Amino acid sequence: MDLRSQTAFSQLIDFLPRYEFNKCVERYEGNHKVHDFSCWKQFLCMAFAQLTYRESLRDIETCLRVMSDKLYHMGIQGIARNTLANANKVRDWRIYADFTQALIVEARRLYAQEAFGVELDQTAYALDSSTIDLCLSLFPWATFRKHKGAVKLHTLLDLRGNIPSLIIITNGKIHDVNILDELTLEPGAIYIVDRGYVDFERLYTIHQASAFFVTRAKDNCDSRRIYSRPVDKSTGVQCDQVIALNGFYARKNYPEKLRRVRYFDAVNNKRLVFLTNNFTLSALTIAELYRCRWQVELFFKWIKQHLRIKKFYGTSENAVKTQIWIAIATYVLVAIVKKRLALVQSPYTILQILSVTLFEKTPILQAFSNNNYENQTDELCNQLMLFD
Burial of 79 from C-beta contacts in 10 A (0-12 / 13-18 / 19+): buried
374 — pLDDT class (breaks 50, 70, 90): low
| pLDDT higher than threshold 80 for residue 166 | yes
d(Cα 56, Cα 71) in Å, to the nearest integer?
Answer: 20
End-to-end Cα spacing for the chain? 33
* Per-residue pLDDT, 76: 77
* Per-residue pLDDT, 224: 93
Q: In the chain, what percentage of residues exceed pLDDT 90?
A: 71
Domain residues of the chain, as ranges? 3-96+314-368, 111-297
33 — pLDDT class (breaks 50, 70, 90): confident
Residues whose CB falls within 8 Å of the CB of residue 100, separated by 6 or more in sequence, listed in order: 167, 325, 326, 328, 329, 332
Higher pLDDT, 385 or 76: 76
Q: What are phi and psi of 219, to 5 degrees?
A: -65, -30
Give the range among 52-61, 87-96, 362-371 with minimum mean pLDDT.
Answer: 362-371
34 — pLDDT class (breaks 50, 70, 90): confident
One DSSP character per residue, 143-190 reads EEETTEEEEEEEEEEETTTTEEEEEEEEETTS-GGGGGGG----TT-E
- Strands 237-245 and 223-229 turn out to be antiparallel
| pLDDT higher than threshold 50 for residue 205 | yes
| pLDDT higher than threshold 80 for residue 386 | no
Give the range among 62-66, 147-151, 242-246, 269-273 with minimum mean pLDDT.
Answer: 62-66
372 — pLDDT class (breaks 50, 70, 90): low
382 — pLDDT class (breaks 50, 70, 90): very low
Residue range 297-305: mean pLDDT, rounded: 93
Report pLDDT digits (tens) over 70-117: 777 776 777 889 999 999 999 999 999 999 999 999 999 999 988 888
Closest CA to 67 of 357, 363, 365: 357
Helical axes 317-340 vs 81-90, angle rounded to 10°: 100
- Strands 190-192 and 124-134 turn out to be parallel
d(Cα 41, Cα 52) in Å, to the nearest integer?
Answer: 16
Residues whose CB falls within 8 Å of the CB of residue 106, separated by 6 or more in sequence, listed in order: 17, 336
* Per-residue pLDDT, 255: 95
d(Cα 240, Cα 92) in Å, to the nearest integer?
Answer: 50
* Per-residue pLDDT, 58: 93
| CA-angle at 274, arms to 268 and 276, nearest 5° | 150
Q: Class of 111-297 per CATH?
A: alpha beta
Radius of gyration of the chain (CA): 23
Q: Are 282 and 231 in contact (CB under 8 A)?
A: no
* Per-residue pLDDT, 3: 54
Which run of H or E residues covers position 191? strand 190-192
Which 8-state DSSP code applies to residue 30? Answer: T
| CB contact burial 132-148 (16+ within 10 A = b; e otherwise) | bebebeebeebbbeeee
Residue range 328-343: mean pLDDT, rounded: 94
